[in-house]
Amino acid sequence: MTGDRPKVLVLEPGYRSYEVERVALAVLGAEVIPVGANEDALVVVRALNPSAILVRERRVDAEIMSAAPALRCVVRYGIGIDNLDLDAARDRGIYVANVPDYGAEYEVSDHAVALYLAVSRRILTRDAAVRKGAWAVGQNETIIGRRSATLGMIGFGRIARKVATKFRALGFGRILAFDPGVDAAVFEKENVIPAQPDEVCKEADVLSLHAPFLPETRHMIDRERIAMLKPTAVVINVARGGLVDEVALADALTAGRIFGAGIDVFEQEPPALDHPLLSTPNTVVSDHTAWYSEDSVNALQTRAADEVLRVLTGERPVNWVNPW
């Protein structure tokens, strides 16, 4: 390795290969260096002084940025940027970008529907019962009909709109959504009723979460709003775990105050083995994988690398999230 080749660190690697990034950045002669999840990111950053950082879930804070005088950009693999210190980056003139448009709205919306169907039709318990030799026991567990049901949504961005379309195809006749950042014209075009969070929770047969995780959205679905849900309601979260008071949700599920939940994201990931939502009835969980397919990974890595290339060749990133 030569000292004048730009170094691009990948924090918390999670992909099979980084050949996509290496090919995209080969014109710069850049080294793409994965940093293992068990390695101390601060120590590595200080030692290697990267020009760019690519990151998934790890926190990139002021201390890490200050440890790399050559750092010019931080690019988040994906949409959420709550793990990045935007103010610290702005103060140092470091571009921060994300990848909001890598096609995962199809994967995430499919996953939301899959979680709903698995919970609503009790697929996991039926599978387990049949494997143990049981048969024709479906009526031992209540299954709710959902004809002309209401879908309630918190957040109504690109992914949520795909989810709404797919739930409408399942027969959901009415959709309410809360999203103060969306124009009234969008709601009208999508035939979705704008509503406040309390109304969404009270009316929803299925509550599907699609908001970003921000200080003002943390535990937006709290104990009080969970108490507003119908006893037949299903909660689906494919956005961020911190949107929900997980203990309150687990209490409601355990007490049978709501029908079920499909959870792809947790406030702390991975969740502890004694996390309450891992033992609640009629709850289906997955490992923050709603975004994943081979196609979406390739697009995500390509577009993240392209943002790094833009910055290191003197351009601004397309999806610049900390403008000054």
Active site residues: 240, 269, 288
Please tell me the number of Cα atoms within 13 Å of 18 on its side-chain side. Answer: 22
Beta partners for residue 31, in sequence order:
7
Tokens representing 126 are 């039926």
Tokens 């931080």, located at residue: 74
DSSP run (H or E) holding 296: helix 294-312
- Positive or negative: CA dihedral 229, 231, 237, 240: positive
**Cβ-contact 160, 103 below 8 angstroms:** no
Q: How far is CA 209 from CA 2, 45, 199, 279, in A?
A: 47, 35, 14, 21
The residue to which tokens 């397309």 are assigned: 318
Q: Which pair of structure tokens corresponds to residue 239? A: 């956005």
Length, in residues, of the chain: 324
Contact 140, 116 (CB under 8 A): no
Q: What are phi and psi of 73, to 5 degrees?
A: -155, 150
183 CB-near residues (< 8 Å, 6+ apart): none
Is the distance from CB of 311 to CB of 72 less than 8 angstroms?
A: yes
